[in-house]
Amino acid sequence: MSDFPSSARPGKLLAIIGDEDTCVGFLLGGIGQLDKHRKSNFFVVDKSLYPSATNIEEIENAFQQFVKRDDVDIILINQHVAEVIRNVIDRHTSPIPAVLEIPSKDYPYDPSKDSILRRAKGMYTAEDFR
């Protein structure tokens, strides 16, 4: 721990909600954590169930749980998964944990769907773009 500057000592987790490859990749990167109650900081979205109503509810619950946890700083979520629970993500206005929408191998990044970019674009009226 002495490698880090005192003002920025690490200690919080990153959470991930995404497809199998994304989760396996990031867990391989070392972000995975299981606590003593076997509560994990990752949620794998099963492609075969997607996007059934039950699955959407599960995704929403996973997201809400990560938001409530005070040991999570950043929530990474695949953009196509974020799209399914867009209303929940748009309601999250607190800066911590930060929610970062990331692309996946099957779904390329689409800036027009990104919550923050849509909010930034929404500040300007059609008149402003003329």
Partner 1 sequence: MLWEMSASHIEESQDVTSQDLDEKLDLLSLQCLFLMNQVISMKVDIERRMKEGTGMLAKARYVMGGSSVSTLQIPSEEAGMTASTLSSFEESERMIGKSLRLKYYNFRVFPSAKVKDDTEDEVKDGIEQKLSNLQLDPRQSQASNPLRWFGVLVPNSLREAQKIFGGVLLLCAECSSIESELEAVIREIDILNQVKSNRQQK
Among 2, 3, 54, 126, interactor with partner 1 by CB under 8 A: 3
Total residues at interface with partner 1 (CB under 8 A): 55
- Among 99, 106, 87, 89, which Cα is nearest to 47's? 106
Q: How far apart are CA 121 and CA 123, in angstroms?
A: 5
Which span (21-29, 53-61, 62-70, 84-92) binds partner 1, by CB under 8 A?
A: 21-29
3 state SS of 92: coil
Query: Is there binding between residue 27 and partner 1 (CB under 8 A)?
Result: yes
Report the nearest approach of partner 1 to the CB of residue 57 (Å). Answer: 20
| The only residue of 53, 87, 95, 130 in contact with partner 1, by rule CB under 8 A | 95
> Measured between alpha carbons, how far is 79 from 85 in angstroms, rounded to an integer?
10
126 near partner 1, rule: CB under 8 A: no
Sign of CA dihedral 86, 88, 91, 93: negative
The angle subtended at Cα 8 by Cα 42 and Cα 44, nearest 5°, is 5
H or E segment at 78?
A: strand 72-78
Q: Of 52-60, 61-69, 81-89, 104-112, which segment contacts partner 1 by CB under 8 A?
A: 104-112
Regarding 49 and contact with partner 1 (CB under 8 A), the answer is: no
Binding residues for partner 1 (CB under 8 A): 3-4, 7-14, 20-36, 38, 40-41, 44, 73-74, 76, 93-96, 98, 100-105, 108-109, 111, 114, 116-117, 119-121, 123
